[in-house]
Structure 1
């Protein structure tokens, strides 16, 4: 009986914690960064007929004719890049809704990239949020992804939530509602993106791989597939600023790394919601990812 009561107490404690979400990170970088309007920082890149701005919200949609994407007005050498995003419910398999940094247009086949990618899903399963880092190795036949995937502790289709990438010379930190979910430190120049990048958002058909490795494809009887973005936040060093610009830090201490409270929040997310880590994948050749 005592064992049953103990197990029940543990179950109720864990259930309550899951319902409440992760512990507070204690530091909220987005609160010190002002929001900008879409036209202040971005422009349409492709699919202009599938992009609309209404009262500060940018809506992108994909149908059988086209998707859509946008791009920042300037490239950056480091900074904090965020947006609030709301995803479409229902069947979205094969569809990617993304927010990311890249220099693919400047270095085709040899570019750097830092990604948030929401992997579309079937009606009975939650979205997977994929984070990824590329370093001079995509598009040339030697793609080396550094994927870490998560479920979310909330329904991303019911409301807007804030997603942000902090990139500075020592680390990359992914934030969801100011909670750090992944930290990718600079362990060597060869495993870290150092060249200037632009900020992008897009919605597109990735049926060949997006949902359960391509098992489920985009089904255009459910079109249009819609992604909504607002509350854009960018602060950091434009590529034109040179070495005098001070990089943004991800912790309250102003140095690299996270606070103890931030690490606790990140470990909670990774312990409960991480579903894939490239460093823990025994099928991968880790000689190609020495940072593991």
Structure 2
């Protein structure tokens, strides 16, 4: 019976999805050397809920804490910022595991941010990977978010997978296992983050909105909720560093844009796994997001 059900599920999946994304032909993660947590980061909060073992990091959230977070030692003006993450299985509703760029401590109430956030879920549903870009954010609920959300074509709780943000003066590209899932080009200075940012990561309770708009909350009978990180990649130009520094490319074509193979892969992901696009949300005021 188990074999029959497995075969049935396989044939129910469209062939394009069963095969995974088409080859990108280019692998940005291979262009940046991995570094251990201690070489590039420090604890930001919740040190008692954070452990490091041979350069790999584990952080966790339980009822006794607000979770844990970390921050890069340096601020960057641009670069490729990647990490391999293994997510917590089972009931994780209300919990966010993240990896992102921000300058919120340098510009409180007026900061920029580029996010990769894994929105926890109930056991019968998939994780949602939320990407977001905003600038000059107030942090008080009036942020103009630019969210694009995806399911994944693999189980992110079974193994480590690489996720990355490439940010340079002309574009932002989000990668999952070297597959570009979203490209956000610079169309104007007003809609693009340009000030130096640090790299952060965290696990925390966002029950008010994380899972289906807050429908499902964190349930601490399932604690601890654990996020595992390794293979950190900081291929960036540091603030105040060498003026000749140039960030790694996201494409074989050069410092901007994607190849035709990469575009084909991104289109495949967006066709099959994108679940929300702020530009296509009729309830949004698009005068606030002119890039749409």
The TM-score, its normalising length taken from structure 1, stands at 0.94
For the 8 Å contact 1:169–1:247, the answer to whether it is kept is: no
User: RMSD in angstroms over aligned alpha carbons?
Assistant: 1.4
Q: Indicate the residue corresponding to 1:58 in structure 2.
A: 57
Q: Which runs of 5+ in 1 are unaligned?
A: 1-10
Cα distance per residue 1:73-107 (max 9 Å; x no partner): 00000000000000011000000000000000011
Q: What is the DSSP-based 3-state SS (H/G/I as helix, E as strand, rest coil) of the residue aligned with 2:132?
A: strand
Q: Indicate the residue corresponding to 1:266 in structure 2.
A: 266
1:241-260 pair list within 5 angstroms? 241=241, 243-260=243-260
Give the Cα separation in 2 of the matches to 1:213 and 1:261: 35
Q: Indicate the residue corresponding to 2:22 in structure 1.
A: 23
Q: What is the DSSP-based 3-state SS (H/G/I as helix, E as strand, rest coil) of the residue aligned with 2:105?
A: coil
Q: Indicate the residue corresponding to 2:290 in structure 1.
A: 290
Give the Cα separation in 1 of the matches to 2:141 and 2:158: 39
Give the Cα separation in 1 of the matches to 2:12 and 2:157: 27
Give the Cα separation in 2 of the matches to 1:278 and 1:129: 14
Check 1:75–1:282 CA distance in 2 against 1; reply closer, same or farther (3 A cut).
same
Query: CA offset at residue 240 of structure 1?
Result: 1.4
Q: Indicate the residue corresponding to 1:75 in structure 2.
A: 75
Q: What is the DSSP-based 3-state SS (H/G/I as helix, E as strand, rest coil) of the residue aligned with 2:89?
A: coil
Query: CA offset at residue 241 of structure 1?
Result: 1.4
Give the Cα separation in 2 of the matches to 1:40 and 1:176: 24
Aligned pairs, how many? 282
Q: Indicate the residue corresponding to 1:169 in structure 2.
A: 169
For the 8 Å contact 1:110–1:140, the answer to whether it is kept is: no
Q: What is the DSSP-based 3-state SS (H/G/I as helix, E as strand, rest coil) of the residue aligned with 1:241?
A: coil
Cα distance per residue 1:182-210 (max 9 Å; x no partner): 00000000000000000001000000000
Give the Cα separation in 1 of the matches to 2:11 and 2:226: 37
Cα distance per residue 1:40-92 (max 9 Å; x no partner): 10000000000011233200000012100000000000000000000011000
| Higher mean C-alpha displacement, 14-23 vs 204-213 | 14-23
Cα distance per residue 1:157-197 (max 9 Å; x no partner): 00000000000000000000000000000000000000000
Q: Indicate the residue corresponding to 2:142 in structure 1.
A: 142
Q: Indicate the residue corresponding to 2:7 in structure 1.
A: none
Q: What is the DSSP-based 3-state SS (H/G/I as helix, E as strand, rest coil) of the residue aligned with 2:14?
A: helix
For the 8 Å contact 1:44–1:71, the answer to whether it is kept is: yes
For the 8 Å contact 2:77–2:197, the answer to whether it is kept is: yes
For the 8 Å contact 2:35–2:55, the answer to whether it is kept is: no
Query: CA offset at residue 142 of structure 1?
Result: 2.4
Give the Cα separation in 1 of the matches to 2:49 and 2:179: 32
Give the Cα separation in 1 of the matches to 2:137 and 2:236: 25
Give the Cα separation in 2 of the matches to 1:291 and 1:113: 17
Cα distance per residue 1:230-266 (max 9 Å; x no partner): 0111112001115432233211011311000000000
Give the Cα separation in 2 of the matches to 1:126 and 1:154: 10
Give the Cα separation in 2 of the matches to 1:155 and 1:14: 15
* Runs of 4+ that moved beyond 4 A: 11-14
